[in-house]
């Protein structure tokens, strides 16, 4: 059952996200926001591919248990690229709503991202192990969750203030992605079915990037 659901889902997700990103860049026509959003979308798909491609391969062949090392390395890459994804989304927020200054806010965003990446690179994570410690999964996700919370609040406030119909639900997409992701971090090792929450989490990211596609690529077509 897992093969029938996850394999086509993962492949479709990567194809959709990478296609949307490429299309945004191709149709940007000098639009700086479109270029950034397209690059951010490609980074999302490319980073996730490091984890999803080994999963698809494992599901098609010998199973996931025999691919602990490549899956763990893929999780490491995805963890770092997802952190950069939110830093780029913060910059897009600044461009979209013409925000200037706010050095303190930028410092918070960059520090949270740097701490998250530093924690991800610590050997105590045991990325290549089949049984990595849950404690470090929690440690590295604390600054990540705080970073996500900052972005959620920023988009929520800005969309309401500017009556923005394009990104008015960006905050909700990000909130849903974390809402589905956190239970996986906490309980997937003891309750394997929790891992299925990664599917709606992924859908939330597709929703987020589709907002940018409608805003930038379709407006230029």
Domains and CATH numbers, the chain: 2-220 (1.20.1070.10)
Distance in angstroms (rounded) separating the CA atoms of residues 213 and 134: 36
Report whether pLDDT(110) > 70.
Answer: yes
User: HSE on the CB side for 4, CA within 13 Å?
Assistant: 1
pLDDT digits (tens, 9 = 90+) for 58-95: 888 887 788 889 999 999 999 999 999 999 999 999 99
Question: What's the gap between Cα 204 and its chain centre?
Answer: 9
Tokens of 193: 């079915």
pLDDT digits (tens, 9 = 90+) for 189-220: 788 778 888 999 999 999 999 999 988 866 66
Tokens of 188: 């997937």
Are 67 and 51 in contact, with CB atoms under 8 Å apart?
Answer: no
Instruction: Provide the whole-model pTM.
Output: 0.93
Integer CA distances (angstroms), 81 to 35, 75, 102, 170, 220, in order = 17, 10, 24, 19, 28
């Amino acid at each position: 059952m897992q093969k029938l659901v996850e394999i086509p889902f993962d492949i479709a997700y990567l194809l959709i996200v990478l296609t949307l990103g490429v299309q945004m860049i191709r149709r940007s026509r000098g639009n700086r926001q479109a270029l950034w959003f397209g690059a951010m979308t490609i980074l999302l798909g490319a980073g996730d591919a490091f984890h999803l491609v080994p999963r698809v391969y494992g599901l098609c062949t010998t199973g996931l248990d025999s691919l602990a090392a490549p899956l763990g390395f893929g999780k490491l890459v995805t963890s770092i690229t997802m952190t950069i994804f939110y830093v780029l989304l913060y910059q897009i927020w600044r461009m979209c709503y013409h925000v200037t200054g706010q050095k303190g806010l930028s410092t918070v965003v960059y520090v949270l991202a740097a701490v998250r990446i530093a924690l991800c690179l610590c050997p105590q994570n045991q990325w290549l192990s089949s049984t990595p410690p849950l404690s470090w999964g929690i440690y590295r996700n604390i600054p990540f969750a705080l970073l996500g919370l900052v972005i959620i609040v920023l988009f929520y406030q800005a969309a309401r203030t500017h009556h923005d119909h394009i990104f008015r639900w960006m905050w909700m997409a990000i909130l849903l992605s974390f809402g589905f992701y956190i239970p996986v971090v906490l309980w997937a090792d003891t309750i394997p079915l929790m891992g299925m929450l990664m599917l709606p989490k992924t859908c939330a990211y597709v929703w987020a990037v589709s907002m940018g596609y409608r805003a930038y690529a379709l407006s230029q077509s």
